A and B are shown apart, each in its own frame.
Chain A
């Protein structure tokens, strides 16, 4: 109870609580970062206690649980965490060496057995397997400090899914008859934060003094709140009520930074590329020359500046994220695969492929004017604006594109069943190169029109690409993966199955009043999504 009083103390909105010096807390607050105010606590509009890390509606976990590896979302570094090392014996056998000396927050020792237990539980309860970590896994076993995974097929990409899975304590979870319905009200984890208290307005964590890297972890607590509605939450941000938030703010310089230029900062880094995607079963999209023309016909800069308010950068046709993944781009590809807007080249490509412009209209090879629909979810206003820019770009070529805006649910359903002409998709941007290309391009992830496809909605089918993906899955050495990834990038550069346009922004606003050491454009040591890495870097201001 002592600790919850402390969190009350730090709340600006509690004037009636007497101010007690932080040192009264006992623990060394010297050199510590005070409790930080964060945004959304998660869990929907009526949040309920749910610390099941595998549930979609869980509350913000505040680093209570940890993973074997942290995959740096910005530069794709692999940071050993609960595991110290991994080795591929062959593409079907993966070993992790588990860190020793780690304790669960209830004092019990953490071991390789907990790791094996977690993955066995996910295998038995696929409803918990949110990463698909056990899809190819045939067995997992612990032997001393080593956990060995075996797979039913070559699965080099599985490292990313397994490394990125929360590890839970066997001594708590093995008692659960149905772990899918377990809300884990008294969470026990290995992480630097401990659950303190929750109600539907705030969720508070306190520092775990017995954390295995406690000497490096200086943040004394986290306080998540229930966000206010839309623009009201922006006003809170402007008032300095959040030390860390991830929200879209129009005109962030004026609305947020200018309110307190000394402390208010933001860094919108590059997220997953958003791509103009065509239904490849239909004409004219089944013509590679038409798709190539589309790559030149769309003014990506206008989209970045107008629809996305200049917060984003234009994307590379290779689908790699620039700058985070620039080392993965084939050096032979010009301009890192960024294609500049060139209306004339687009028209030239079309006419040399047999399309004709007549009376301001572009005629297809069958002599009929080309017109098609673009589908975008209702209410996604920046995407709708981007679609309207494309609409104008294509009108310049004589192509009529109608923008239709069904509800998101209908959009997703029609996307899955192939009932569309063109739309935006967000296929890649992950650190697993296999997944980046497999989700949108693997023929195993598609289905005939009328049947639901899992992720290859454009219905791209290319045996050569499938072969490259299979090769990538059996190649465990990153140095040997590169040439294969280069070839997949060249599929993108020559066949244009998708036209990546811009990188979605990772929203990130922060204040340096209580803490410094945040990732930023000048010090991009990780993505703001890597909560653990960010918190490990924070220090009190001097």
Chain B
């Protein structure tokens, strides 16, 4: 019980620290949001009219109270779930912008993330079972090779060959211009078609970590005494592989997976940039460039809370699964 209480207290303290840092960091970044927004719409190297910068400054109503008062207001707003109006997409609210982008990221990144985990774990287990044979050497060498390729490069290559040279897939976006967002078969089909290329890019690099992790865990477990005992008892190969090897080896991977779920949103920036995908990553990236404090802050908050919650749940899960953790050093 003490263990769980301690974890909960730790969770609350880190959450507060994250929320506070989230307030401070954008503000020490420096720079004038109005200037940044006008320049970003005008384009690099273009002169901007000071009258327009002044108008935007008035439009956004950039606060001029002291920082402490702003911090109190910020905490209150978070408590009420009010995140204000986005600077870049004024007068649309931050919530509106996030709700629009979130499903795209959750579906694309979430699905590929889960698929990566299952594919990686299965391949890793099979490679460990057939260790030092053809499949193992292929799986480990190919995954090491692919894993070292920079993600943006893989993405651009896919884009160039499959979208431009062969024209099999659309080059960008989440759906076609002639579709409108609706829960209809033709829209879902179109959205799925647009998701194939980015998903493929994620699935090429995604399973690598899981393969190596699973393979190494399982090789170790297959060498343990109880596995040898199982073999000596004459249990079937399949049973040893699944119930003795894979079942025990998967535990660290499950925790790692729970933790990695929190990072989904942060990991979506590059893929969404490359494929011009209308999700959270692009929104986040743009909000930083434009000094869009309300939007940036809220996305930061989502990411940190996501990571913290995932960690917290993993801790809890571990406590349940493994009594030794619960009892601490005693």
Contacts and interface: CB of A to CB of B under 8 A. Distances in A.
A413 B29 CA distance: 11
Contacts of B41: 42, 44, 56-57
Given A131-B51, A454-B50, A181 B45 contact: no
B50 A455 contact: yes
Contact of B36 (A55, A202, A408): A408
A205 B92 CA distance: 23
A235 B164 contact: yes
A48 B92 contact: yes
B287 to A, nearest CB: 10
A130 B171 contact: no
B55 A128 contact: yes
B52 interface: yes
Interface string A387-427: 00000000000000000000111101100100000000111
Q: Which residue, B29, B59, B92, B97, has most C-beta atoms of chain A within 10 A?
A: B59
Interface string B276-294: 1010001101100011000
A429 B47 CA distance: 9
Interface residues of B, number: 58
B58 A127 contact: yes
B177 A55 contact: no
A180 B30 contact: no
A174 interface: no
Contacts of B29: 409
Nearest to A204: B177
Interface stretch (B178-186, B199-207, B216-224, B230-238): B178-186
B303 interface: no
Contacts of B52: 56, 130-131
Contacts of B82: none
B255 interface: no
A13 B92 CA distance: 31
Nearest to A126: B58
Interface stretch (A70-78, A222-230, A473-481): A222-230
A8 B178 contact: yes
Contact of B171 (A236, A408, A427): A236
B47 to A, nearest CB: 3
Interface stretch (B11-19, B83-91, B118-126, B316-324): B83-91
B214 interface: no
A504 B50 contact: no
Nearest to A235: B164
Contacts of B291: 409
A178 B100 CA distance: 25
B172 interface: yes
B282 A45 contact: yes
Contacts of B248: none
B254 to A, nearest CB: 35
B103 interface: no
A407 B32 CA distance: 12
A129 interface: yes
Given A226-B276, A429-B47, A413 B88 contact: no
B276 A229 contact: yes
B37 interface: yes
A407 B40 CA distance: 13
A274 interface: yes
Interface string A28-48: 000000000000001111101
Contacts of B59: 55-56, 127-128, 180
Given A44-B88, A180-B59, A229 B274 contact: yes
B180 A272 contact: no
Contacts of B286: 44-46
A333 interface: no
Given A129-B51, A272-B47, A408-B39, A46 B173 contact: no
B89 A413 contact: no
B78 to A, nearest CB: 23
Contacts of A181: 90-91
Contacts of A200: 173-174, 278
B227 interface: no
B35 interface: yes
A45 B86 CA distance: 13
A156 B175 CA distance: 50
Nearest to B101: A46
Contact of A183 (B36, B45, B91, B100): B91
Interface of A: 8, 11, 13-14, 17, 42-46, 48, 50, 54-57, 126-132, 135, 161, 180-183, 199-202, 225-226, 228-229, 232, 235-236, 239, 271-272, 274, 377, 379-380, 382-383, 407-410, 412-413, 416, 425-429, 439, 445, 454-455, 504
List the 4 shortest-distance A-B pairs measured between CB atoms, nearest first.
Answer: A409-B31, A132-B51, A202-B177, A426-B47
Interface of B: 29-32, 35-39, 41, 44-47, 49-52, 54-56, 58-59, 88-92, 96-97, 100-101, 159, 163-164, 170-181, 273-276, 278, 282-283, 285-286, 290-291
10 contacts: A13-B170, A43-B89, A46-B89, A46-B97, A54-B55, A199-B177, A228-B171, A228-B172, A236-B171, A429-B47
Given A199-B181, A409-B291, 6 more contacts: A13-B170, A126-B55, A130-B51, A131-B49, A232-B159, A235-B164
